[in-house]
């Protein structure tokens, strides 16, 4: 990690902390006020987002990685990335 990465890391941690605080506040304050059906729909939506986003991000990363490998193979053996 480089020194220029530290402000970005701190900002990311701050944003993550605020989002976590907001989620805890939402559940502790508003969750009981919703009807059961609305709570169930919100729970399903949150579960799909929490489970689905990392899978989607991993798929995007693998597509970019495979595209780099294909480009390196087309350029020749002197431009290949180490495995």
pLDDT-based confidence at residue 78 (cuts at 50, 70, 90): low
In the chain, pLDDT over 70 holds for what percent of residues? 89
The CA distances from residue 71 to 35, 44, 58, in Å, are 53, 40, 20
- 33 vs 75, residue with greater confidence: 33
| Residue 40: count of CB within 10 angstroms of its CB | 11
Instruction: Give pLDDT, residue 2.
Output: 75
Residues 24 and 17: their CA atoms lie apart, in Å, by: 11
Q: Are 70 and 63 in contact (CB under 8 A)?
A: no
Is the pTM of the predicted complex or chain greater than 0.85? Answer: no
Q: Give pLDDT, residue 36.
A: 93
Collapsing DSSP states into helix, strand and coil, what is residue 34? coil
Residue of 50 and 1 predicted with greater confidence: 50
Residue 79 has pLDDT above 70, yes or no: no
């Amino acid at each position: 990690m480089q020194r220029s990465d530290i402000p970005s890391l701190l900002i990311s941690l701050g944003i993550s902390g605020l989002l976590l605080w907001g989620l805890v506040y939402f559940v502790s304050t508003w969750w009981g006020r919703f009807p059961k059906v609305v709570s169930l729909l919100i729970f399903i939506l949150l579960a799909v987002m929490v489970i689905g986003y990392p899978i989607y991000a991993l798929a995007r990363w693998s597509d970019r990685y495979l595209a780099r490998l294909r480009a390196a193979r087309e350029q020749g053996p002197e431009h290949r990335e180490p495995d």
